[in-house]
Structure 1
Amino acid sequence: MKYKWLMAVFFLLPVCVVRAAEPIPGKFRMYLKEIRSDRIGNTPGVITYQVVSPDRLYVRITWNLPAAVSQDSLNVSVLPAFTPGFNWAPLLTPEKHHVIAQHVFRAPALIVANDAKLLSVVPDLDLLQQERSVPWYMDMDAIRNQLVLGMGNTTVKEHVLFTRAPGAVFPKGTVSLGFYCLVSEKKDALQNPFQQTVSFLWSKWGAPLYREGEPLQRTDLDPYVKQTYEWAFKNWRPAVWQELELDGKKVGAPVFIVNMTQSPNYKGIPNQREFRSVWNQAWFNSLRSAQGLYRYARRTGNDTLKQYALQTKELALSFRQQQGFFKSVVATEMEEVTVDGKQYMRSKGWDTRYWGNSNRNPYTWDARMAPYHIADMSFTAYWMLVWHNELEKDRRLLEYAETYANALIRLQDKEGFFPAWLDLKELQPLQHLNRSPETSISVTFLLKLYAVTGDERYRSSAVKALDAVMKNNLQQGQWEDFETYWSCSRIGTEEWVGKKIPRNNMYKQNNFSIFWTAQALLEMYHVTREKKYLVAGQRTLDELLMWQAVWQPPYMAVRTLGGFGVMNGDAEWNDSRQSLFAELILQYGQLLHRKDYNQRAIAALKASFVMMYTPLNPGTMQQWQARWPFFNAKDYGFMMENYGHGGVTDAQGLGIGEFTIYDWGNGAAAEAYNRIYDHFGAGLFRTNF
């Protein structure tokens, strides 16, 4: 009779609770084979199930401890009732000692699927905010078909993966761990395994915070933009603004990077972190930032700022083309000087300038010797077309882009891909990433050029290229690009390129190429009106959104909603790429009438200013002052590109960096705001989506 009564409750009420002694409820047994729980000391966990909806099950495990227990870790294992072919997790755990630390719980989930079933396991972030005695973690063992949620200390290994660490102490009383299981066998969910989780995470945690005003308690972002330009072109101008004469023209741009020793308030001897340079590449792009400055100057009638922008445009056009191709970096020679027994890096000045390419590549750290990078050239040429179309009808920009495009399409292989890197002398493809989704940024550029010229060659080349990415990269999650392996996170450089990590059934992934592909798919849909591109574009966008923070962790000392991480082998929050992503998310939101996408876009744009040192961000400002107490009003606008990059943070400034990259920080954020302002109007920022 006891069991019959319980089943009656199950069918009569929308929410029910079933004890662990009972089987996994109803249809969920089609997706969940078993849930196993470790003991804490000698105390077993009590598992309860709550059917929230036909496709959502809530699971909680509770331990009632009569005394504190020292125990290194606690695992709860979820065993799917089917064999997946698809796996997704926010961080790689290539060996059994690796875990996904709560530090990277931006939009935490473990997703598995095959042709018939999908299961997503999402930690209960409300419970995590309460259960703060022992940190949480996740793990995904694809070989054993096991999803794990756990509790225990972690430590950083490599750059940046996490491993288990000893020393956890579970306190006397009740300890709980909870999670949601989202399931589906619907065709659209199987085609897009991210959408169900993306929607749930935002509706459950992101949207309520957004409605409260997170991540910034203001709708007017102009003050941030004003402080950015005052910082770059007034208070820090001697360190930031670089000016030189080329072919009788005065050209210039903000320098690639400055650090805290270059502050006007720093009492010590300045030291330059990297070689003095200006970049126009797929990451740090002075031409992109200058467009934001131009838009702002036009809107405010500031001719001085407009002249700075025009000088940067002239610098971009000064990069000479070699059979259509062009370099991405102009730099000065550097020297090391000794003062009082300490070494400091100095520039020898712009009279020693040389032209080169990004040193974030597989071949050399020397920018002078670095090969041409197709993604850098396509990205810069794309922004030349934006400037030509929206700011000035400068024929030189269009001609420069056309010359490059004609060289580019001759490189396309039979399948449709563009190579990644070209030898400096022979202009022939090198060996890395020649079938990668870096191709997608060239698709967007070619479609932009087709829209301007009507030349069918550019459209045909773009269609062929995007179809290759859809066939070979998109469904497989092979999101490998230059940043995946050849920036700061170099784990797997020798053994993982082009291969899945078996324990996770995933490639090492970077979301630059996800963004480029989502952008290319949307542009292709607008050109062709073929629905397959929109469907694939939304799937790719949803995968991108799995990197966006949907909550405010209690262990993060800055505001996090809307900010983006970078890859499944690193640990950043609030990375500057969110400024690049914001308008694309908004474009999908407007087209698909998706309120959640619109909210996410505005949150991403606001998050782009969260790391700024300014009274407008009192919480962030406290962190800056804890790290660099000499900062004052002359430093307002200084902004690190991200937060918590090293995998650890605290409330005393740990996780705060030491440098600003104008073109990948405050200048990039200002550009995004000014562009979105021009495209959608000031009212957008006051809209209650």
Structure 2
Amino acid sequence: MKRLPDSFVKQWVYDDIGQTAPEVSLHQLDKETIHCVLTFELEQTIQQDDWQMRLEPAFLPHFHWAPHLTPTSRHVMDQHCFRSPALIVHDDTKTLMLIPDLDLITKDADARWYMDLDAPNNQLVLGMSRTRVSEHVLFEKVNGASYPSGTIRFGFYLKMADHDQAGLNPWRSLLQFLWDRWGHAQFGQSIREEVRLDSYVRHAYDWAFRNWKDTVWQEFEWDGRNVGAPVFIADVSQSPNYPGVPNERESRSIWNQAWFSSLRSAQGIYRYGMEQNDPELVRKARLMKELALAAPQRGGFFPAVIATEMKRVMVDGQQVNRSGSWAFAYWGNSNRNPVDPWGAIAAAPYHVLDMSWTALLMLRWHDELEPDPRLMAYAARYADALVALQDGKGYFPAWLDQDTLAPLDILRESPETSLSVTFLLKLHQLRPDSKYMEAAEQALKVVIQEIVPTGRWEDFETYWSCCGYGRDELPGNKVARNNMFKQCNFSMFWTAEALYHMYKTNGDKRYMIVGQRVLDEMLMTQASWQPPYLYVDVVGGFGVMNCDGEWNDARQSLFAELILQYGVELDQKEYIERGLAALQASFVMMYCPENEKTKEQWERAYPFFNEKDYGFMMENYGHDGVVDEEGRGMGTFTIFDWGNGAAAEAYLRIKDRLGQTLKERYGYDITY
């Protein structure tokens, strides 16, 4: 085969390395897939800042997709963000996908692989260069790359389709290709070698309630009732083995928020306590439930965070953070918000998303664990207030002014709406009421019409977490050079979940069709392979957004059940494997003997770690876009509710709800 099909590719050019042209090999793998390898035989080391191959489609796409943003010609998608890497474009009839040949990426090459998508000039680019991180987290090319003498190989796969299905779901065939070629075998190897997941659960709870209990477990009286929960965040310096002065990273607090959900973690503790006949764990879980119920409702709405004041103090000549007593605690909301990003919890606006998530968890506790009429009453009061917020199009607002409870304009029409749909459907299931069902249907309809087709996956995390790129000018607008919104996979998850539950409620298969499309878009942020240049296991783990650097993010513990539910409903083995891989990845960042590679990285970063720290678990890996063999990328803290406690809850919930099905139908035994 001498050339790429001109019905799909108008022009394809590639650079030499120095004065050496490549030998080009093209092979047709099937009617839709071509494999290309460019081989350079270098007689000496070549200094060359950049090498590229550029492909121009033979049509004008209106849809573009890439795993990362490149807002200017300086920017590239460094191999650090190659989780399920591809460039995708399509018009009304043709779809073109460009996939790097991951087998050819080596561990220590001086020139790193990258991708770029230039939508205005209709160019798909693969290349090699040195890069640096700019902002949080974008990548830019820098000078200085070199290529050693000998053989240099670079390759890609080109997938082409001219049928409607590719346009309806442009990710399905690509995900299957990636999993068949790389993920399936690597997942199979991990399944054969995997230790029992319940050993990780023991580490998580031993860490929180035994070895680190003085730091983690908080128990106090609030408004005449006993309450308790693990602390929001624990810093590495609070280890019982730390040789210096401990420091608190953020104020001592407890959250019931979309990420950090104490009530979610409590359900894992309750399940494990009942399973192990451990009344003390059950008691702790119930205290966590009591704390959620203690959040004061105001017109049905309620705060998400209870916190203490923190001050800077001198200890042994060192200035550190110290939090005050729970006797002087106060209620507030997440400071990851547009009013005062990373500002005061006490002044933060109410977040509808957080309230809907907590209310949904209340209903799940009542339905799945033990009946508690107080949970139903609390959730119903909130539901009535929520329905009254819905606008004429169907959206629920993102934030409410703390004083007036009026909706704020920012993200007033967003896919955060989808989580409220799932909550209302659950309440309708337990307490049928047409107003809940009608509100859910109207909300999901507008999300399907306005969010899904354009990929407008904007939520609180997209702009008001650690990645502030575009915070002021991008909400509601695409990055022009990529023809893509800044996107977060959290809102993809909420939408795929709402579509699944709407299908299960009314049986309309159209919801599953759209739901699978959204799920697959989310799965493009899952690691479908094990890069040789990462130092922990990542297959099945998730990133976050198209402008960040995380691998193995804690959200995979939340996503795993939904992926498995789609897998069971559609009887699709790939989803079953991806869901189980996500569940496994939920524990990979834990410091413990079972994770040999991770344990080595933790001990290189923090040599004082020992068995008293087993269970410590950072929420992700490579957060800043850079890793190395000496422990860079390992992070500095554990969030029980977005890390070890969340992973434990996910495993225990999946084991209870899907364990037998996975064992009997698919041969995967997680029930032990």
TM-score range, shorter chain: over 0.9
Q: Which residue of 2 aligns with 1:105?
A: 82
Equivalent runs, 1:187-336 vs 2, <5 Å: 187-213=164-190, 217-218=193-194, 220-336=196-312
Question: Equivalent residue for 1:121?
Answer: 98
* Aligned counterparts, 1:336-415, within 5 A: 336-364=312-340, 365-415=343-393
Distance in 2 between residues matched to 1:23 and 1:552, nearest whole Å: 31
Structure 1 residue 652 and structure 2 residue 630: aligned? yes
Question: CA contact under 8 A between 1:153 and 1:165: conserved in structure 2?
Answer: yes
Q: Pick one of 108, 123, 146 that aligns with 2:123.
A: 146
The residue that corresponds to 1:6 in the other structure is: none
Question: SS of the residue aligned with 1:179?
Answer: strand
Q: Take 2:107 and 2:6, find their aligned partners in 1: how far apart are those partners?
A: 30
Following superposition, the deviation at residue 42 of structure 1 comes to: 1.4
Question: For residue 458 of structure 1, what is the amino acid of its counterpart?
Answer: Y
Amino acid of the residue matched to residue 273 of structure 1?
A: R
**2:507 match:** 529
Describe how 1:536-547 pairs up with structure 2 within 5 A: 536-547=514-525
Question: How far apart, in 2, do the equivalents of 1:247 and 1:157 lie?
Answer: 48
Is 1:121–1:179's contact at 8 Å kept on the other side of the alignment? yes
| Displacement of 1:142 | 0.5
Asked if 2 retains the 8 angstrom alpha-carbon contact of 1:156 and 1:647, the reply is yes
The answer to whether the 8 Å contact 2:182/2:529 transfers is yes
Q: Which residue of 2 aligns with 1:40?
A: 17
Note if 1:573 corresponds to 2:545. Answer: no
Structure 2 residue 30 is matched with structure 1 residue 53? yes
Greater Cα offset, 338-347 or 195-204: 338-347
Aligned ranges 1:481-500 → 2 under 5 Å: 481-500=459-478
Q: Secondary structure, in 3 states, of the residue corresponding to 2:389?
A: coil
Hey, what does 1:83 align to over in structure 2? 60
Moved over 6 A (4+): none
In 2 relative to 1, CA 350–155 (structure 1 residues): closer, same or farther, beyond 3 Å?
A: same
1:197-256 C-alpha deviation (Å, 9 max, x unpaired): 111111110001111126x82252111001100100111011001111013221000010
- Once the two structures are TM-superposed, the CA of residue 681 in structure 1 deviates from its matched residue by 2.5
Question: In the alignment, what sits opposite 1:12?
Answer: none
Q: Separation in 2 of the partners of 1:247 and 1:688?
A: 50
The CA deviation at 1:31 is: 1.2
Distance in 2 (CA, whole Å) between partners of 1:548 and 1:672 is 17
Give the residue type in structure 1 aligned to 2:247: N
Which residue of 514, 518, 532 maps to 1:554?
532
Q: Percent identity?
A: 53
**Equivalent in the alignment of 1:8:** none
Distance 2:507 2:289 in 1: 34
Is the CA contact (8 Å cut-off) linking 1:220 and 1:685 kept in structure 2? Answer: no
Contact 2:28 2:35 in 1 (8 A): yes
Conserved? CA contact 2:216–2:234, under 8 Å: yes
> Secondary structure at 1:591's aligned position in 2?
helix
- 1:94 equivalent in alignment to 2:75: no
Distance (Å, rounded) in 1 between the aligned partners of 2:667 and 2:599: 28
Instruction: State the SS of the aligned residue for 1:143.
Output: coil
Question: Does residue 162 of structure 1 match 2:139?
Answer: yes
Q: Is 1:219–1:685's contact at 8 Å kept on the other side of the alignment?
A: no
- In structure 1, how many angstroms separate the alpha carbons of the residues matched to 2:469 and 2:661? 45
Per-residue deviation, 1:131: 8.4
Residues 1:137 and 2:114 aligned together = yes
1:23 and 2:6 matched? no
- Taking a change above 3 Å as real, the CA distance of residues 179 and 80 of structure 1, as seen in their structure-2 partners, is same
For 1:29 and 1:587, the matched residues in 2 are separated by 41
**1:582-617 Cα distance to aligned partner (Å, 9 max, x none):** 000000000001000000000000000000000011
1:688 Cα deviation after fit: 4.2
Q: Post-superposition shift, 1:146?
A: 0.5
Q: What is the alpha-carbon distance in structure 2 between the residues aligned to residue 220 and residue 606 of structure 1?
A: 10
Give the Å deviation of 1:171.
1.2
The Cα of 1:30 is off from its aligned counterpart by 1.5
1:374 partner amino acid:
V
Three-state SS of the structure 1 residue aligned to 2:354 is helix
Q: Please tell me the root mean square deviation across aligned C-alpha atoms, in Å.
A: 1.3
| Letter in structure 2 aligned against 1:274 | E
Residues in 1 aligned to 2:658 and 2:473: alpha-carbon distance in whole angstroms: 45
Which one of 578, 583, 589 corresponds to residue 600 of structure 1?
A: 578
Task: Classify 1:130/1:223 alpha carbon distance in 2 versus 1 (closer, same or farther; 3 Å).
Answer: closer
What is the 5 A alignment of 1:473-488?
473-488=451-466
Once the two structures are superposed, residues 310-340 of structure 1 have per-residue CA deviations (whole angstroms, 9 ceiling, x without a partner) of: 0000000000100000000000011110234
Following TM superposition, by how much is the alpha carbon of 1:133 offset from its aligned partner in structure 2, in angstroms? 4.7
Q: TM-score, normalised by structure 2?
A: 0.97
| Structure 2 counterpart of 1:625, from 603, 610, 632 | 603
More divergent stretch after superposition (260-269 vs 587-596): 260-269
Q: How far, CA to CA, are the matches of 2:3 and 2:312 in structure 1?
A: 70
Mapped partners of 1:440, 1:551: distance in 2:
30
Deviations 1:474-500 (A, max 9, x none): 110000000000000001001111100
Cα distance in structure 1, aligned partners of 2:256 and 2:392: 29
User: Within 2, Cα distance between the matches of 1:158 and 1:612?
Assistant: 28
Q: Secondary structure at the residue paired with 1:681?
A: helix
Residue deviations 1:96-128 (CA, integer Å, cap 9, x gap): 000000011111111111110101111001111
The Cα shift of 1:132 comes to 3.5
Shift of 1:341: 4.0
**Residue 439 (structure 1) aligned with residue 417 (structure 2):** yes
- Does the 8 A contact of 2:605 with 2:634 survive in 1? yes
Q: Which amino acid in the other structure matches residue 431 of structure 1?
A: D
1:452 aligns with 2:435: no
Question: Which letter maps to 2:102?
Answer: L
Contact 1:202 1:550 (C-alpha < 8 Å) held by counterparts: yes
Flag the 1:343–1:685 CA change in 2: closer, same or farther, 3 A: farther
Aligned to 1:672: 650
CA displacement at 1:167 relative to structure 2: 1.2
Local SS of the residue matching 1:164:
strand
Q: Distance in 1 between matches of 2:162 and 2:437?
A: 37
Q: Normalized against structure 1, the TM-score is what?
A: 0.95
Once the two structures are overlaid, the 10-residue window that deviates more, 34-43 or 372-381, is: 34-43
CA contact (8 A) 2:467 2:548 kept: yes
- Structure 2: tracts of 5 or more residues without a match: none
User: What residue number does 1:589 align with?
Assistant: 567
Three-state SS of the structure 1 residue aligned to 2:190 is: coil
Residue 611 (1) aligns with residue 584 (2) = no
2:81 maps to a residue whose letter is V
The structural deviation recorded for 1:130 is 7.6
Q: After superposition, what is the alpha-carbon deviation per residue over 1:417-460, rounded to whole angstroms, capped at 9, x for unaligned?
A: 00000011211011210110000000000000010011111010
Q: Answer yes or no: is the 8 Å Cα contact 1:257–1:662 preserved in 2.
A: yes
1:365-398 Cα deviation digits (max 9, x unpaired):
1110000000000000000010000001100001
Instruction: Report the Cα offset of residue 157 of structure 1.
Output: 0.3
Distance (whole Å) between structure 2 residues aligned to residue 131 and residue 327 of structure 1? 49
Structure 1 gaps of 5+ residues are 1-17
Moved more, 185-194 or 636-645: 185-194
Q: Distance in 2 between matches of 1:626 and 1:234?
A: 25
SS at structure 2 position matched to 1:322: coil
Distance 1:86 1:285 in 2: 36
For residues 252 and 470 of structure 1, the distance between their equivalents in structure 2, rounded to whole angstroms, comes to: 40
The amino acid across from 2:257 in the alignment is Q
Aligned equivalent of 2:481, options 503, 506, 511: 503
Amino acid at match of 2:583: L
Q: Secondary structure at the match of 2:99?
A: strand
The answer to whether the Cα contact below 8 Å between 2:107 and 2:532 also exists between their aligned partners in 1 is no
